[in-house]
């Protein structure tokens, strides 16, 4: 008779639902002798570590009522009695979620050392989880039996991340236990069932994401707003326009405005919010101006007069030399997410416009409508650059 089962029975069963002492076969939840040893138990033996299952021999009478057998003398040297450490890990996805229920469940189950953090599973490196795994591997290397206990498998991760984590625990010979969920109980991290359920949890995340996107699109079609509540209003826009005319930067404008409604009432809007509000206003003004230009001033249409060649040449020359207007500059700036164009004068004529790029930086638009992205912090430096371009242009003529 093969005595491999004696090597397995030299260890206590680490399964919390079994937990039989060394010298006895594994038992079922109904108190019967199990037909095979639990995976977490026979994996403790190097000779059976790679086996898919280890059957209970007939001498142990599988299916009969389980009774505890004498503990073998060799078991004391194989695994010190009572040296079983359970390390807990609790995680929530956002800072607003509570960890109390997870911590309470782990504490009530006898777990004393608990690592906890609030971080999404999409973050590749989770500091507290790394600390828990490192400690578990170090303790296991010293000869102590270690189990990582978690409230449910979703707290560890989903899909490929969960499979990779299980492989790390398997390489360190660290057990894994879940208190609730589909995987409740102790498990072999490298088992087939564990891998299948991990893949299913990854599919669940994609399903949730697709349903969320479908719901948002459905809401948009019905005219509902997706995202945070609007914090700007007409009074805030009027004040922002007034401050912009005084060459106040976007950051300073934001610090002088106050939100009057909603959850952010009493707080200052961000510089990005102010820039978006001003950009939308400039775009609306530019569209209104374009509509007015396209509308004929008289209800009686007049036949256009054919200009002479000399007049055409004069008009084209004037158009080339005439700088763009401030309304045109605003339209150009809006295309590049810039705002607040301010004219720069040189020798009595407008040579371009300085525009706000946000967060204290500036770009400029030349008199002929060319946008230049320079991101200068010093507004004076942008002004000097425009004047230099105008001077070089005159010398080139």
Average pLDDT over residues 120-127: 83
- Nearest CA-CA partner of 93 in 227, 179, 205, 186: 205
Which two structure tokens, joined as six digits, stand for 177?
A: 């236990």
Task: Choose, from 24, 58, 93, 255, the residue flagged as catalytic.
Answer: 93
Task: Specify whether the CB–CB gap between 91 and 155 falls below 8 A.
Answer: yes
Across 147-161, 172-186, 214-228, 241-255, least confident range: 214-228
Distance spanning both ends of the chain, measured CA to CA: 107
DSSP string, 140-174: HHTT-EEEEEES-GGGT--HHHHHHHHHHHHHTT-
pLDDT at 222 over 70: yes
| Model pLDDT, residue 103 | 92
> What is the structure's pLDDT at 316?
44
Query: Does residue 87 sit in helix, strand or coil?
Result: strand
Ordered structural domains, the chain, with CATH: 1-80 (no CATH), 84-204 (3.40.50.1390), 228-291+321-397 (no CATH)
pTM: 0.37
Per-residue tokens: 21: 């002492």
Which of 111-125, 194-208, 354-368 is most confident? 111-125
Chain centre distance of CA 155: 16
Residue 25 φ/ψ, nearest 5 degrees: -75, 165
* Residue 74 is among the residues annotated as catalytic for this protein: no
The larger pLDDT score, comparing residue 292 to residue 131, is at 131
Q: What is the mean pLDDT of the chain?
A: 79
Q: What average pLDDT does range 78-87 have in this prediction?
A: 64
Q: In whole angstroms, how far apart are CA 60 and each of 29, 40, 198, 269?
A: 17, 19, 35, 74
94 three-class SS = coil
Count CA within 13 A, CB hemisphere, residue 70: 3
| Dist CA 388 CA 394 (whole Å) | 10
- Tens of pLDDT, residue by residue over 306-334, are 554 444 444 444 444 678 888 888 888 88
Looking at residue 114, its pLDDT comes to 93
Asked whether the predicted pLDDT for residue 201 surpasses 90, the reply is no
């Amino acid at each position: 008779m093969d005595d491999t089962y004696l090597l397995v029975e030299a260890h206590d069963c680490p399964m919390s639902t079994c937990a039989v002492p060394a010298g006895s076969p594994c038992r079922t939840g109904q108190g019967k002798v199990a037909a095979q040893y639990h995976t977490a138990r026979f994996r403790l033996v190097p000779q059976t570590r790679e086996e898919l299952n280890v059957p209970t021999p007939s001498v142990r009478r599988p299916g009969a009522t389980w009774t505890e057998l004498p503990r073998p003398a060799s078991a004391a040297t194989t695994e010190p009695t009572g040296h079983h450490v359970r390390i807990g890990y609790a995680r929530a996805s956002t800072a607003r979620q509570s960890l109390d229920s997870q911590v309470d469940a782990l504490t009530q189950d006898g777990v004393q050392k608990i690592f906890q953090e609030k971080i999404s599973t999409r973050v590749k490196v989770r500091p507290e989880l790394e600390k828990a795994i490192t400690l578990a591997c170090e303790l296991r290397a010293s000869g102590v039996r270690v189990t990582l206990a978690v409230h449910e498998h979703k707290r560890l991760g989903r899909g490929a991340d969960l499979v990779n984590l299980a492989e790390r625990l398997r390489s360190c010979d660290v057990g894994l236990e879940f208190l609730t969920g589909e995987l409740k109980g102790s498990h072999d991290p490298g088992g087939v069932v564990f891998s299948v359920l991990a893949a299913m949890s990854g599919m669940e995340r994609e399903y949730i994401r697709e349903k969320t996107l479908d719901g948002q699109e459905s809401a948009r079609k019905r005219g509902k707003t997706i995202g945070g509540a609007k914090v700007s209003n007409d009074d805030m826009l009027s004040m922002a326009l007034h401050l912009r005319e005084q060459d106040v930067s976007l950051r300073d404008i934001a610090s002088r405005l106050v939100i009057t409604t909603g959850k952010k009432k009493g707080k200052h809007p961000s510089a990005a919010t102010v820039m978006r509000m001003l950009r939308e206003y400039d775009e609306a003004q530019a569209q209104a101006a374009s509509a007015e230009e396209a509308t004929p001033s008289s209800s009686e249409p007049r036949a256009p007069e054919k200009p002479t060649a000399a007049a055409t040449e004069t008009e084209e020359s004037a158009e080339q030399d005439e700088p763009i207007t401030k309304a045109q500059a605003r339209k150009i700036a809006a295309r590049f997410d810039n705002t607040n164009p301010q004219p720069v004068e040189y020798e009595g004529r407008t040579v371009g416009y300085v525009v706000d790029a946000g967060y204290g930086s500036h770009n400029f638009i030349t008199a002929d409508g060319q946008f230049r992205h320079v991101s200068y912090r010093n507004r004076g430096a942008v002004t000097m650059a425009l004047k230099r371009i105008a001077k070089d242009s005159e010398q080139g003529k």
